[in-house]
A and B are shown apart, each in its own frame.
Chain A
């Protein structure tokens, strides 16, 4: 489903070049739950952003469903993000002036989905994350864990095939973190491919496969092993 071929990403300033990702080779199959781990600044979030087409890469190629994203126009990338990818950010990234319902409907609106269908999907997603009764609340009225669950609901409401989670439990206490992880596991069991950046070894172990990044490189070639994990 996801294939990175010799992919590199360089951040350039006038004075220096920083190789954030170096010759990454990675394949992720449909339905996998992959944890991206590594020390701070190793490039795992950059990799996640490249996978989410939030950042461009400089060399190599990125194939999504067998199609290269290289050279796609801005509108094609927007469409791709909207239809295939769901995002869960560490800082939740909810719009505070909108109700939970409106926040969840946001990506669906840009896909041109009718109001009744949007409403149905948003309610379904809120039901899944256990916040159906609070659809008219605003994010500021919720705890951090609840906000992250809303962000997850927003990510899955569009029924994406890939969920990219950047330290989804980074701002949560252990109890809430566990709830979020359980939720992600449930979503993965329903067939959604998940790539999750995490610092937490316990959470990484709950993923089907761990990929470690150090200094912008996959630390072990053995990580590139699409057959290594066969989820039950």
Chain B
């Protein structure tokens, strides 16, 4: 340890000998790292798995049960109420939930100005499947319609000034509801359960309403919906449940391979029965997409982010090359001292330990400067693209990852110059 502290001291003395070139090296490398970090922050968050222990057990089933003949068609991204009911009529999944989102206005009484809110209209298993944390109260006991809402914690605090509001009355679009539960802080990132609608970048919903209640009160989806006929589906409570209005997302939890196989078979049998009944003429096309693949399945990966990632990586490469060049100049100007140390008995191994001390110092400086530049970059990107702002955040894993990148680049910047300085004719270098 004493020796390593000595190596650090030697590095520091070497920096003080020529601070400007060193500062320039740090600046160039930090700039490359900062730009790279800023982009990596978004890339990491967008591609992260919010439920890594479960993302291969949650599935998004889709079938091509449409009334018209359709060749080489993909199954629709959203399902009709009828088809969700059909896909639910089995005990194979450990959990299942149909859902969609809608807009509404919330207030405590008619004198108060209404607050616009996003509503997730869903079934009780949604909270279990996506591990939504509960702060107060309890989830609806079954799928039946009821005048009960679940609020997010920020919504409860905004409307009531506190979070424990179970049993309180509230008006949603001027209908009386009772709050039965309040969620704890929760933001699934990315919000993969909404990926079929391209909603994986959005914030969590504020209000949760039972699916049947949503249909009863004619809440239409604020995302995508489509139909195959001319029925007026604004009367969702009646037409919506029987017609061909596709607006529902449907998720199932299949914990084992056997369950997954069984559910695939169930879907095949269902589609075959439907065909026999003459309800759809198209060739079967069933999909059971695991949550971890859902974004790529729907082509939701951002091409901009990918292209930007490539550009920032190339920029980091250029900065690395330039910093390495500056570092080489610095090492060559210190080559005399390297040679003297070798002449006096330092082995190349000991000089490489000296180099590691250099790397540690450089990485420390670059980490601080790089993170500052990255913070500036993330702030700027959040300002320019507020929709992505949820993803401009750092967590411990990301910070550790950035630390590893910093050390690796600092090592690369130092490796070649230090090797160059460690080799060569001792006698000649001592004379120079």
Give me the interface of A with B, judged by CB distance under 8 Å: 49, 52, 54-55, 74-75, 78-79, 81-83, 87, 89, 93, 95, 97-98, 106-107, 109-112, 115, 154, 158
Contact = CB atoms under 8 A, between A and B. Distances in A.
A193 to B, nearest CB: 18
B344 A82 contact: yes
Nearest to A155: B344
Contacts of B430: 54, 89, 93
Given A79-B347, A115-B2, A110 B427 contact: no
Nearest to B431: A91
Contacts of A75: 347-349
Contact of A54 (B3, B6, B343): B343
10 contacts: A52-B343, A54-B430, A75-B349, A81-B345, A82-B344, A82-B346, A95-B337, A106-B341, A107-B345, A110-B347
B348 A110 contact: no
Contacts of A112: 3
A75 B346 CA distance: 8
B426 interface: yes
Contacts of A89: 430
Contacts of A52: 343
Interface string B1-20: 01100100000010011000
A178 B346 CA distance: 32
Given A49-B427, A54-B430, A55-B426, A106 B2 contact: no
Given A93-B430, A98-B13, A109-B6, A81 B343 contact: yes
A106 B6 CA distance: 10
A106 B348 contact: no
B427 A55 contact: yes
Contacts of B350: 78, 110
Sort chain B's interface into a size bin.
20 to 34
B17 A110 contact: no
Contacts of B425: 55
Given A55-B425, A75-B349, 11 more contacts: A55-B427, A74-B348, A79-B347, A83-B345, A89-B430, A97-B17, A98-B13, A109-B3, A110-B350, A111-B345, A158-B345
Contacts of A93: 340, 343, 430
Q: Give the 6 A-B CB pairs with smallest separation, nearest first.
A: A82-B345, A78-B347, A107-B344, A75-B347, A110-B345, A54-B426
Contacts of B17: 97
Contacts of A109: 3, 6
Point out which of B17, B340, B344, B347 has the most chain A C-beta atoms below 10 A from its C-beta. B344
Interface in B306-351: 337, 340-350
B421 to A, nearest CB: 14
A12 B13 CA distance: 37
B344 A81 contact: yes
Nearest to A105: B6
Nearest to B346: A110
B345 A79 contact: yes
A81 B346 CA distance: 9
Contacts of A95: 337, 340
B344 A106 contact: yes
Nearest to B349: A75
A23 B6 CA distance: 44
Nearest to A56: B425
Contacts of A97: 13, 16-17
Contacts of B346: 78, 82, 110
Interface string B114-140: 000000000000000000000000000
A158 B346 CA distance: 13
Interface in B371-409: none
A112 B6 CA distance: 12
A112 B3 CA distance: 8
Nearest to A83: B345
A93 B343 CA distance: 11
A83 B346 CA distance: 11
A109 to B, nearest CB: 6
Contacts of B345: 78-79, 81-83, 107, 110-111, 158
A98 B345 CA distance: 18
A136 B425 CA distance: 32
B347 A74 contact: yes
B343 A87 contact: yes
A3 to B, nearest CB: 22
Contacts of A79: 345, 347
Point out which of B2, B342, B347, B349 has the most chain A C-beta atoms below 10 A from its C-beta. B347
A48 B340 CA distance: 16
A75 B345 CA distance: 9
A4 to B, nearest CB: 17
A115 B9 CA distance: 15
Nearest to A73: B347
A78 B341 CA distance: 10
A55 B350 CA distance: 20
B432 to A, nearest CB: 10
